[in-house]
Amino acid sequence: MSILEVCNLSKQYKQVNAVNGISFVVQPGTCFGLLGPNGAGKTTTIEMIEGITEPSAGVILYQGKPRDSLFKQEAGIQFQETSLTDYITVQETLEMFASLYKKPMPLSQVIDLCKLQPILKQRTTLLSGGQKKRLLLALALINDPKIVFLDEPTTGLDPQARHNFWQLISDIKSQGKTVILTTHYMEEAELLCDELIIMDAGKILDQGSPKALLEKHFNRQRVTLNKRDIQTSQLSLSEKLIEEEDRLIILSENIESTLSSLKKQGIDLTSISIETPNLEDLFLKLTGHTLRQ
């Protein structure tokens, strides 16, 4: 049974249709991503699922049933921005939030999972961006949820802190928890998500696993050579060729076969580069504008 099912979900404001009749299913124990630029409708979608925003239309099912008090007990939420109580420590913050639940996750487990031990005595106002994100993640996990909502959790982090946070998300998923992740970072979605939907202007452009989506839309890789290293007139290949001012691009369906053919023809491969399409390329193909625009 799916853990979450969304059917024809919509949210309309006076002059904006923020979410336009989207549907998807999330399987338990997976990381499900909502990928798209700012304003695509990602945050509005998960806020409706979380119960923060009332849908204009549509059905949301948790474990096959309409959401009830069980969903509230079993869901953990990390918002894009959360205000923390000033002048208390990380340890005191964890204890305060744990006291709100009947069966919280043991604090030692939360601390270990989110790597909080070095900052337990530090006041929340003195935390760095990455430290605060780890604390907010811990607060989302403190009720030991089955499903965790992370709304653009790595926005504003430096590359090292972002990679550290990705490892935390992988650790959470390894415990069997379901993760719902919104992001506008292509690399983040490709690395973490088992399934995802690509959104723009409140609609789903496509959905599936990152690998399946790329295979669906791109059956060729780009092999690029400097023109100075070859004589195009002597080149014999069955693949489609694109000639630009200073380079030649081969659209290859089989890289090994293409490289073997180039070697047999004595082509200098010193300058060769091989480009594999990624989710940003896919988004550009589907929408005509870049992922982070």
Find the distance separating the first CA and the last CA of the chain, reported in whole Å: 37
Q: What percent of the chain has pLDDT over 90?
A: 58
Sign of CA dihedral 48, 170, 32, 158: positive
Asked whether 154 and 166 are in contact (CB, 8 A), the reply is: yes
Q: How many domains does the chain have?
A: 2
Residues 244 and 177 in one domain: no
Asked whether 22 and 45 are in contact (CB, 8 A), the reply is: yes
Residue 291 has pLDDT above 60, yes or no: no
For the ranges 48-52, 117-121, 160-164, 237-241, the lowest mean pLDDT is seen at: 237-241
Residues 114 and 96 in one domain: yes
Q: Which residue has the higher pLDDT, 81 or 105?
A: 105
Residue whose tokens read 């404001």: 13
Q: What is the band of 253 on the pLDDT scale with cuts at 50, 70, 90?
A: confident
Q: Which residue has the higher pLDDT, 233 or 78?
A: 78
- Cα separation values, 162 from 65, 96, 266, Å: 35, 27, 44
Q: What percent of the chain has pLDDT over 70?
A: 95
State the pLDDT at residue 229.
67
Residues 42 and 159 in one domain: yes
CA distance 280 to 183: 12
Residues 95 and 240 in one domain: no
Is 49 inside a domain boundary? Answer: yes
User: Which of 188, 209, 230 is the C-terminal boundary of a domain?
Assistant: 209
pLDDT, mean over the chain: 88
Q: What is the band of 14 on the pLDDT scale with cuts at 50, 70, 90?
A: confident
State the pLDDT at residue 293.
46
Most confident option among 14-18, 136-140, 218-222, 264-268: 136-140
Asked whether 64 and 5 are in contact (CB, 8 A), the reply is: yes
Domain that holds residue 68: 4-209
Residue 141 has pLDDT above 50, yes or no: yes
State the pLDDT at residue 64.
94
CA distance 243 to 232: 9
State the pLDDT at residue 262.
78
CA distance 49 to 220: 38
The angle that helices 159-174 and 129-141 make with each other, rounded to 10 degrees, is 10
* 45-69 residue pLDDT tens: 999 999 999 999 999 999 999 999 9
Residues 98 and 173 in one domain: yes
Beta strands, E only, 56-194: 57-62, 65-66, 75-78, 147-151, 178-183
| Partners of 61 in the β-ladder | 5, 66
CA distance 94 to 106: 10
Residues 83 and 124 in one domain: yes
DSSP 105: P
Is 292 inside a domain boundary? Answer: no
Asked whether 39 and 10 are in contact (CB, 8 A), the reply is: no
Q: How many C-beta neighbours within 10 Å does residue 51 have?
A: 13
| Mean pLDDT on 205-215 | 92
Asked whether 195 and 25 are in contact (CB, 8 A), the reply is: no
Q: Which residue has the higher pLDDT, 236 or 35?
A: 35
Tokens at 47, concatenated: 């806020």
